[in-house]
Amino acid sequence: MGATGALSHLQSSIHGLTTAQAAHRLKLNGWNLLSCKKPLSWWQLLLQVIPNPFNILLALIAIISVVNPVPNWATFVILVVMIAISCTVRFWQEYRSNAAATRLQSSITNDVQVQRQSTEHPSLDEKSGNSPIKGTFIKAENLVPGDILLINPGDSIPADCLLIRGSHLTISQSSLTGESAGVRKTADPRGEKDGLDTFALENVVFMGTSVISGNGLAVVLRTGDGRPNPRTTLSPRVRALVLLGQPLKPQLTRSMLGKTQLLLPSPKR
């Protein structure tokens, strides 16, 4: 599926969305954020700290010291104090590190450059080439499907996107595939064969990858938790449908449907 088909499916244009369209889609799709595990509360962290092998060993020795015919209460008290000190120190270290990680994560902001139409009903002079479109910096979590993303060297790709234009674009997919070598991306793929891994798509850039060199223009396909899992082997047509969230057609075989039904988003009620 080419850029024209993607733009049509997403009801967008190469000039981007209007502010009103973007706000409406943000309400429908939510923030461009991946769900993460909720930080443990202090009492959950304390319960997690207590049962460690060292504390269990000390507890067993303490119990043995008092169940003997002649209980040694001094040893029992010393071992209990050691367990309390060990738990307190470990709890404080874990609590401080978790709090520092939370503060660091909240302080990191990633701005991206998108094309947004400056008026609600823009007019474009094709002959003169004058356009109301200009690059606008927004927070990555405000991206919505249909946004037109400007890609530059050093950028981190904030969402799964389909390339519209690209110039000597090389992407590092090591965060997803583990391969250190950069991957060339182009808006005009040379053709694909069935069975290729989704990462081999030449005109798709994935969330979490980074730009090594070159620049480009891409349309955002999916954001946040709505992203499909790219670690699958499907035909190019099925992969395009999965990335765009488009319903599968009846001509798909039963085996294809079985592979894709877990990847396609559920229809909203």
187-212 pLDDT per residue, tens: 887 655 554 567 778 888 998 899 99
- The model's pLDDT over 158-179, given as tens digits with 9 standing for 90+, comes to 999 999 988 899 999 988 888 8
Please determine, for residue 258, whether its predicted confidence score (pLDDT) is greater than 50.
Answer: no
Is pLDDT of 81 > 80?
A: yes
Residue 11 has pLDDT above 50, yes or no: yes
Please report, for residues 13, 25, 134, the alpha-carbon distance to residue 142 in angstroms, rounded to integers and kept in the order given.
18, 10, 17
Q: Where are the beta strands (DSSP E) in 118-265?
A: 134-139, 148-151, 160-172, 183-185, 204-205, 210-222
Instruction: Round the average pLDDT of the chain to a whole number and report it.
Output: 77
In angstroms, the Cα distances linking 207 to 129, 143, 204 are 32, 12, 10
Place of tokens 């290729």: 196
The rounded distance, in Å, linking the Cα atoms of 264 and 241 is 9
Burial category of 199 from C-beta neighbours within 10 Å (exposed 0-12, middle 13-18, buried 19 and up): middle
Single-letter residue type at 201: L
